[in-house]
Structure 1
């Protein structure tokens, strides 16, 4: 039995200019960050200097901003940004240890093409790739040749089949399938090449994949859904789950619930790491941190404020409201992101927010937990969740970039290390090794070798 103290895992969740809705306006922000490779390279290297496990970018198959108000559209910084796999392939060459989590949609992607891209990224990065599996809550079907945005239940049913199919494709070649014997002239052992021959509800794919098995066996599987089908998908397939929780009690409930589902899939509690998001606003004193927070909030233009509210109150005319009116109940009947809607609904109801307080609460981190304070107070908050059954890891959401990530690495990480909560050096070379996750065996090889073993035992 290991006596090593449990270690916290850290990810840097990167939104080009920062997570705050008005981050790009801050004097310290890199305004052109979305298409600035030098900016992303520096961020990845800063995170690696801090010994973070991974960097992560969220992504959507279309423009994120769905504002109807032209004034709001022209004031948002989320119009254009790099496609994540392309970005991470480039940055893997400027780093050596940190992992790269790319978002890709099971609703709007193709399993075979996605399997190729992530297998390639894992080889290019030498075993540091991860796939954030999303079903895409927003309706972006107008950009794709499909009849419309699938219903919530259908999206998750498709995702279940999609993930299994992609894993099967990654197993197309056993680890030692490529002989590459120059003397004999034999390059490939055909007995170790496998067709998935998949025929399911949504997909029909023969295989094999035309990329060798990923360095990690499978890139690390990440998931972020917190609805009932999202929790079940995570318990069956995910190895990290990104969560959004506002209170310790909610985080503990989620942690206990999802970990409690693992046994039915033959999995242990250490095979899934739960990573809440945290939006840290730092200052040398509490007063300085609060001043930094207030300044950030002052940068939100009124059109952006009303657009944030309109996004959450779809179908409700807000024209008769003022920002100082109590926030009305949010609609609960939606086919979009059900878990995030519940999160912000609970936030409004628990705190009796006005519309102004509501938009300010979600302008920071869209429902993730905001912590304002000194480096010691940020570390205290993280330690409390980590040691009380609410988190295995944290997805750090810097308010503005690049400075907020640099400040966290230089000011908070040393405190976590001093308390024995976080590493001084990387444990391995692959993302799996650093996260303490096992390398999965090839499913086809297991099937092939089970029969002889059974005969010997008999």
Structure 2
């Protein structure tokens, strides 16, 4: 019997950060009045996104206080803890948390995500990151950051250990038979006895296998090493792409890499970041862009740029002189966020902006695709990228929260539904259902 092809569906994730992804959003009068430490803020946004039928929400993380804290709102709740609360105030939307493989232990993290998947009835995803921030290293007992290649080597082993722990219980291990007095089948729960370069973990996990088998794996690194890591493990990829052509190249390359790893390319979703300012007219949207940019502090931007390049000193560069690639370290020598440095240097090579212009662009969404326009223009852009091999959906990064999320849900989503690109109801209950991903097979021996 011939298998019927499943129609490709657009995926939308809401990336919640600060009071919006524009650097100055926290100052804007239309921004949320909630404190960034108030769980009510995240609950409100998660429920709005669920009403808009988004696949998921996503919380980033940082393991150190940023040195821009005096003039920028860049602190928020620890994501795993926050998602535990949000699981109780939502019912269908996926919940993705960032957690680092550089400064965590596999057993503890596997327990946390297994607990979240049980609590949420199968709605959890793990954004797998390696930590490049030097200040984070100092908070975890080190004098400096771990180099790029070692971070990924450690991350590779970490993921293998976590997978083994999540699979250490068979699906039928728990009997919970009160009459016979048998709670579990010990022969269906086995240690992993892992001994590697970085970790020694006996196992098994002390929690049963979860509704999804394991969390959905999300990844965001776009360097060569990061792409290889994604090809082996990622089921969804968050990526920063500043133009459609580079997005198409990245999409084709990553799908090809997944195939070489023996994975079906359609089981790895590519979700570029999109930060749209939306208004009734294009001129009104551009006015809002200027309004937000006028609230930015260039020196905050300069400090953040320095952090992206591993602490490189940009203080000597004048704000209004056109930049050249030679003003930046070679991205291949940067041990911090290498993929993002490549995006920034590529932009400088193409457009030769002044430092002030570059900082204004990065203030919008830190190197992700920013745009401004009407609901129809935003829907057109989304459809164009989706149909033309640049994206499987988008990691929506509203520049101002909650207002730009509301406009997107109320005015853009109905256009996407009318074009039959986006769901009109949830078809399943787990994040794997929303993403169209199979449940990983577990132990059957």
**Do these two structures clear the TM 0.5 threshold for a shared fold by scoring above it?**
yes
Offset of residue 422 of structure 1:
0.2
1:35 aligns with one of 34, 37, 52: 37
Tell me the equivalent position of 1:217: 213
2-structure distance, mates of 1:317, 1:261: 36
Tell me the equivalent position of 2:102: 107
2-structure distance, mates of 1:12, 1:147: 35
CA contact (8 A) 1:308 1:359 kept: no
Offset of residue 264 of structure 1:
2.8
- Residues 1:116 and 2:111 are matched in the alignment: yes
Instruction: Give every structure 1 segment of 4 or more consecutive aligned residues whose post-TM-superposition deviation is greater than 6 Å.
Output: none
Tell me the equivalent position of 1:360: 360
Offset of residue 32 of structure 1:
4.4
CA RMSD of aligned residues (A): 1.5
Offset of residue 19 of structure 1:
0.5
Tell me the equivalent position of 2:13: 11
CA offset digits 1:114-145 (Å, max 9, x no partner): 00000000000000000000001212111113
5 Å-filtered alignment, 1:39-438, equals 39-63=41-65, 65=66, 67=67, 72-78=68-74, 80-139=75-134, 140-146=136-142, 148-312=144-308, 317-329=313-325, 330-332=328-330, 333-438=333-438
Offset of residue 30 of structure 1:
2.2
TM-score by length of 1: 0.93
2-structure distance, mates of 1:219, 1:238: 11
Cα 1:185–1:223, aligned 2, differ >3 Å: closer, same or farther? same
CA contact (8 A) 1:223 1:238 kept: yes
CA offset digits 1:242-285 (Å, max 9, x no partner): 01111111111111111101223221111100100000011101
Offset of residue 73 of structure 1:
3.5
CA offset digits 1:203-251 (Å, max 9, x no partner): 0000011111111001100000101111111111110010111111111
TM-score by length of 2: 0.95
Could you say what secondary structure the match of 1:361 adopts? helix
Cα 1:294–1:122, aligned 2, differ >3 Å: closer, same or farther? same
- 5+ residue gaps in structure 2? none
Offset of residue 146 of structure 1:
3.9
CA offset digits 1:383-416 (Å, max 9, x no partner): 1110011111100001111111111111110110
Cα 1:105–1:237, aligned 2, differ >3 Å: closer, same or farther? same
Aligned length: 438
1-structure distance, mates of 2:95, 2:313: 41
CA offset digits 1:78-101 (Å, max 9, x no partner): 1x3111111111111111100000
5 Å-filtered alignment, 1:432-451, equals 432-442=432-442, 444-445=443-444, 448=445
CA contact (8 A) 1:227 1:339 kept: yes
2-structure distance, mates of 1:319, 1:195: 54
Could you say what secondary structure the match of 2:87 adopts? helix
